[in-house]
Each structure stands twice: as structure tokens, then as C-alpha cells.
């Protein structure tokens, strides 16, 4: 259930939850082990056209490895991606959210901390991942609904006068 918000013009809007985002886009995510090579992680990212992989040890999330990590920690340091382990370069213990977090909360965190991907975790189990693209898509969709509602409201007022 979405929490309601009262807008100044009297229209109640709903805040979308991470659960709703995952229900719509799916819960799939791609993961590698800390012992996998950076090359293996990049291969997964290329295969699925994604910007990051989660790093798991069994079912436990231990890190995240992103294109940004690759560019800053491999390329700029002159390392060879086949010779470096993901566990050596990943971002350990990444920031996570739960299904109860709202798009507004996640977007604020992404903006403040400059994250593009945030794993969704509950009870130490990875449930999926949300991206900046998911957040923008949700916000645009909500704004389109609000605009349509306002247009109907205005048209109704004008017709009554």
C-alpha cells in the first residue's frame, strides 16, 4: 500500500514503494562471487547490458561491482581485468534498501550519495536491485498521472462555470 500525500491543490497522490517497482520490473539481478575475476564480472555486465553486478558469497550480499569501479580501480591503475579478483575491487557492504522504502527516499539517497544502483535486501536476502533509471521512470509516471488528474480537474471546473 502506498502512503498518501496531500498536495496543496487538494489532490491526494501516492508515493510508490520499492516493492511496487520490483513487482513491475521483476526481481532478477546478476551476481558474481568475490573470487571471480573482474573480467568475468564485466562479461556478465556486457551479456545482460547492465551497469553493475552484485557480489555474493552464497546467498549473502558482500559487495557491489560497477562500471565506475572498473573505470577507477582497474583501467586508471593499469591493472589487467583477468588477473584481478572482484573481491579486491568491489565496494564492500553496499548501502541497501527494503521493499518498504519509497521512490522519494531512494531517489534522495541516490542523489546525495551519488549511487546509480541499490540492492534491495530484507532478512539478509537479496530481493532485487533498483536503479536510478527505475526511480526516474517511476517519478515521470507519477507526474504524468498527476498532470492528467489536474487536467481533468480543471476541465471539470471550467465546464461547471
**Contact status, residue 70 vs residue 135, Cβ threshold 8 Å:** no
Of residues 4 and 78, which shows the higher confidence score? 78
Tens-digit pLDDT profile for residues 96-140: 999 999 999 999 999 999 999 999 999 999 999 999 999 999 888
160 lies in some domain: no
**Contact status, residue 49 vs residue 77, Cβ threshold 8 Å:** no
Residue 70 sits at φ, ψ, to 5 deg, of -60, -50
User: What is the pLDDT at residue 154?
Assistant: 79
Q: State the CATH number of the domain containing residue 79.
A: 3.10.580.10
In total, how many domains does the chain have? 1
Tens-digit pLDDT profile for residues 25-48: 999 999 999 999 999 999 999 999
Find the DSSP H helices in the chain: 18-25, 38-48, 67-70, 86-89, 103-113, 132-160
- Average pLDDT over the chain, rounded to whole? 87
102 lies in some domain: yes
Domain hosting 53: range is 18-155
Instruction: Please name the residue that has the C-alpha cell 519509497.
Output: 102
Output the pTM of the full model. Answer: 0.80
145 lies in some domain: yes
pLDDT at 51 over 70: yes
Instruction: Please name the residue that has the C-alpha cell 498536495.
Output: 7
Reported confidence tier of residue 10, pLDDT bands at 50, 70, 90: very low
Question: How open is the CA angle 45-49-51, to the nearest 5 degrees?
Answer: 60
Amino acid at each position: 500500500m502506498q502512503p498518501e500525500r496531500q498536495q496543496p491543490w487538494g489532490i491526494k497522490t501516492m508515493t510508490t514503494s520499492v516493492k511496487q517497482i520490483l513487482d513491475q520490473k521483476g526481481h532478477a539481478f546478476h551476481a558474481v562471487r568475490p573470487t571471480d575475476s573482474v573480467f568475468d564480472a564485466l562479461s556478465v555486465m556486457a551479456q545482460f547490458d547492465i551497469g553493475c553486478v552484485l557480489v555474493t558469497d552464497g546467498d549473502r550480499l558482500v559487495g557491489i561491482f560497477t562500471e565506475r569501479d572498473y573505470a577507477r580501480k582497474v583501467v586508471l591503475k593499469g591493472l589487467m581485468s583477468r588477473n584481478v579478483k572482484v573481491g579486491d575491487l568491489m565496494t564492500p557492504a553496499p548501502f541497501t534498501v527494503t521493499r518498504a522504502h519509497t521512490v522519494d527516499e531512494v531517489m534522495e539517497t541516490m542523489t546525495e550519495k551519488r549511487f546509480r544502483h541499490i540492492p534491495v535486501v530484507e532478512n539478509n536476502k537479496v530481493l532485487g536491485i533498483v536503479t536510478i533509471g527505475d526511480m526516474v521512470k517511476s517519478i515521470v509516471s507519477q507526474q504524468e498521472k498527476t498532470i492528467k488528474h489536474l487536467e481533468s480537474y480543471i476541465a471539470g471546473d471550467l465546464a461547471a462555470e
